[in-house]
Amino acid sequence: MGPAELVQAAAMARRFYLEGKSKIQIAEEFGVSRFKVARVLETALERDLVRIEIRVPAELDAERSDALRARYGLRHAVVVESPAEGEETSPDPENLGETAADLLGELVSEGDVLGLAWGRSTIHMAAALDRLPPCTVVQLTGVYDAGTAERGSVEAVRRAAQVSGGEAHPIYAPMLLPDPATAAALRNQTGIARAFEYFDKVTVAAVSIGSWEPGISTVHDMLTDEERAHYASLGVAAEMSAHLFDAEGRRVGRDLGERCITVEADRLRRIPEVVAIAGGQRKAAAIDAVLRSGLVTSLVTDTAAADFLLNETGPKPRPALDRADPDGI
């Protein structure tokens, strides 16, 4: 390109990329066809006269996010940088909750019903919330320990409702009960029954995922050694909201649900947007299992888990947005 062509190409590029003018407007200004404008802009890119740089915040990994969304057929996948080795000891890094809080700010609309399940990551998310449209917030599970309700999921529901200015419907009950009869009696109590009535109205839900090992699944930690061994023998690989899954995403140990205060799996499947928040290498296989269950539509995770999920050599999962039940296939 000669100097005149370079000057013209630079001017056209400025109009198009910086001033937002259309190719037709540029063609009229310079007295050429819009096809010539297109060729000039293409040449400007080829000759490095124009450089296009896509930048996102350093903590977000756009390439892994898009690859993960495509592999599992998710509506949204957001991958953040994993903490440096030695910097994070918790199985649920707080930066996942912060990113999930920003995502909820995008997904929730005025008049929605937001459901929050118990989990350290959802508690981190609720603490990080600084904006939500007016919406109703309902608790989807009981708490890990009724004695910790004030700093657990009950407080998370209250916090989200405070930010949104909407109603809060917490559940003041443990997640796991000694037997099905006790759980059934609690479900019929007025406050808990009122929260359950909202489950079919939930439009956006946030859930956590646990691996079947100590400290990574609250349900695992609540059971006796004998019960853990029993469910392990069934092939449990993951836990979400007191539902257990094998490596293919099929539900196992359904009898456990009869003892739990939690949203039913079929109801979760009908919620339009279910966002799972989980990361780390120790949870990676569990995340894969839950994504195969058809219960989750979006994921917030980190690079450590994403690398495992993207290199998984097992059977290709069905698109998550199909919401297909592996038990029904």
Question: Binning pLDDT at 50, 70 and 90, where does residue 215 land?
Answer: confident
What does the pLDDT look like over 27-46, one tens digit per residue? 999 999 999 999 999 998 88
What does the pLDDT look like over 144-188, one tens digit per residue? 754 444 457 789 999 999 999 999 999 999 999 999 999 999 999
The pLDDT value given to residue 149: 42
Is pLDDT at 329 greater than 70 in this prediction?
no
Pairing of strands 251-252, 243-245: antiparallel
Determine how many CB atoms are found less than 10 A away from the CB of residue 179: 10
The pLDDT value given to residue 84: 65
Mean pLDDT in the chain?
Answer: 89
The pLDDT value given to residue 194: 93
Look at residues 165, 19, 96 and name the one whose alpha carbon lies nearest to residue 305: 96
Determine how many CB atoms are found less than 10 A away from the CB of residue 190: 7
The pLDDT value given to residue 134: 96
Question: Binning pLDDT at 50, 70 and 90, where does residue 8 land?
Answer: confident
The pLDDT value given to residue 90: 56
Is pLDDT at 88 greater than 60 in this prediction?
no
> Buried (b) or exposed (e) across 51-78, using 16+ Cβ within 10 A?
eeeeeeeeeebeebbebbbebbbbbbbb
CA distance 25 to 93: 50
The pLDDT value given to residue 147: 46
What does the pLDDT look like over 184-200, one tens digit per residue? 999 999 989 999 999 99
Q: Provide Rg for the chain, Cα atoms.
A: 24
Q: What is the phi/psi pair of residue 189, to 5°?
A: -65, 145
Look at residues 122, 119, 118 and name the one whose alpha carbon lies nearest to residue 96: 122
Stretch among 153-157, 212-216, 243-247, 253-257 having the lowest mean pLDDT: 212-216
Helix H segments across 129-238?
153-164, 180-187, 190-197, 218-222, 225-233
Q: Ranked by mean pLDDT, which of 33-37, 90-94, 116-120, 142-146 comes out on top?
A: 33-37
Look at residues 277, 209, 285 and name the one whose alpha carbon lies nearest to residue 240: 209
Decide: 90 and 124 in contact? Cβ < 8 Å.
no
CA distances for 287 relative to 80, 173, 268, angstroms: 15, 27, 16
Greater pLDDT, 33 or 95: 33
In the structure encoding, which two tokens stand for residue 249, read together? 């995403």
Determine how many CB atoms are found less than 10 A away from the CB of residue 122: 29
Decide: 65 and 78 in contact? Cβ < 8 Å.
yes
What does the pLDDT look like over 51-84, one tens digit per residue? 876 665 657 888 899 999 999 999 999 999 887 6
CA distance 74 to 96: 18
| Residue 168, beta-bridge partner list | 137
- 193, with CB counted inside 10 A (0-12, 13-18, 19+), is exposed
In the structure encoding, which two tokens stand for residue 177, read together? 């009960």
The pLDDT value given to residue 206: 96
